[in-house]
Every structure is written in C-alpha cells, then in structure tokens.
Amino acid sequence: MKFMSKEFQGMRKAQAREMLPAIDLFPQVEYVRRKIDAAIFGSNNYNNNIAEMQKIYWHSVELPSVTFRPLSTAESIAVVAYDFENLAKPRIFDNSWLQAGRVLRTQDGVYVNLPKDKESRLIDDEKALKQYLKNAKKIEVGKGHIYLGDNDFGFTEYDSFERGIQDAAIFVSGGLAKILEHTTEKVTKNLKAVSDKKNYPNGVNVWGFEPVKKPLLRVVGLYSNWDVGGVRLDVYGSDWGDNSGGYAFGGLVSGEASA
C-alpha cells in the first residue's frame, strides 16, 4: 500500500468546474453614455425568459461566467435599432415578437419601467406611482402630457398618442413612443429607425392600450404583422407575460472578467 507523502497531506482537492451553457451577445450599443451588452432569451413567455436571464452562462475567456437582468423598454429598443434589418427584424420581429418590458395600463394612461421597492418587487400601486410623477419631467405632447423619471420610468396620458393603424411619423412623435424610448426629443430616434417605411410600408398599429377601470400589469410587445400589400409594425400592450412565447433582451450584469 502506498501512502501519500506529508507534502500532499491535507491537500484540498480541486472541484471540476460545471460546464456552463454558451450564450451569444448582440453587438454592443451605447445608451445614455454607457455600453449595453445584451443577450436574447426565448422563445418563451416573459416570466420564464426573465428566469433564464438569472442563470449563469459562458460567453468567452474574458467573460466565462455571466448573468443578466431584464432591460428596460428604452434599453431593449436601443439594442433592437442596431442593424435592425439584419439582426432583430429577421430573428425576432418576423418570426415571433419582442417582449420590450412591463407596462401598467390605468384609467388615465400608461406607466412603463415601474420602480421597485426595497424587496426588488415592482411597484404597481397607482397611488404610489403618482407620487413618482411629482419628481418626473412633465412634457406636453399632442393633447396630453408625458412624464419622464429616473431609471427609464415614464407615464403617458392617453391623449398624448394615437391608437390604431397610423403612419409611422405619427407614432414616433407620440407619447407612447416617447416613454417607451424615454426621450424628450420631438421624434424618437430608435423607433423611427425600426418603423421606417423600408421595414414597414404599411405603417404602425398601436393596440391593446385602451383605458381600464382597474390597473392592469401587462407586457408590451413589438412584432411584424404581415398584411395584404405589405408588412406593418404592431405595438401591443395587453399580453399577460406568462402565456405567450416571445423574445426578451437581458443586459450583462456580472462576469468574472469585470469582478
């Protein structure tokens, strides 16, 4: 019988590293003077896509162990707009739909990118959200107003945007597009690129954004709607988030390289 020498006694045996699933990253985009590294998750319902973001993945030697967080609507749209015709449109919009983020529909308007409480739960109480509007920037749009707060939080009154089928120019200058992209510009830059006539000759259809008596937490989706004579961009605001398959973007939040 051979005995281990004193030199090796007490050695802590190395553990084999678990093989992590590989994940691709979309081209890095700049958003509000910072870089976004995004990965696509799906096709699944939004709740499951978010759960998948929280798992650990392998990307490269530089990023061997990474996790992700759900992107805001504005961040997701920024990623989508990068080379839209060759990346997001054929991979997501033409075959499924983009789950851009959660919205809260109310009697007076639509909230996006809801703040979170101390337990990281979304604040969907309308009274509490109205307090956040006091610290948000109020801007007149159309016959109504929009409010832009911190962390891409926003609110648009129904009178600030059109519903139904419309020209892209009307959509990108309306309140809904502005809060989704979180911009004070007269025309939303990224949604303008996405809804361009070369991509969607039949314009835009905004639906599922009707006023409701009681607040409804939903997921806003964007996708290609093939119609007679062309294709149209649909912007839909009434998905439950747990019953439809689609794609969502997660933003890189951790990795051994950055640690």
Residues of the chain with pLDDT > 70, as a percent, come to 89
Has residue 77 got a pLDDT over 90? yes
Has residue 34 got a pLDDT over 80? yes
Indicate the pLDDT class of residue 257, thresholds 50, 70 and 90. very low
Give the whole-angstrom CA distance, residue 215 versus residue 124.
Answer: 8
Has residue 258 got a pLDDT over 50? no
Give the pLDDT confidence score for residue 243 in this predicted structure.
Answer: 66
For the chain, how far is it from start to end, CA to CA, in angstroms? 45
Average pLDDT over residues 196-207: 96
Contact 71, 257 (CB under 8 A): no
Residue 225 tokens read as 């709607």
pTM of structure: 0.89
Give the whole-angstrom CA distance, residue 184 versus residue 181.
Answer: 9
Q: How far is CA 22 from CA 43, 67, 68, in A?
A: 17, 12, 13
Give the pLDDT confidence score for residue 11 in this predicted structure.
Answer: 59
Average pLDDT over residues 180-187: 97
Residues of the chain with pLDDT > 90, as a percent, come to 79
pLDDT in tens, 111-152: 999 999 999 899 999 999 999 999 999 999 999 999 999 999
Give the pLDDT confidence score for residue 259 in this predicted structure.
Answer: 37
Contact 156, 141 (CB under 8 A): yes
Contact 141, 205 (CB under 8 A): no
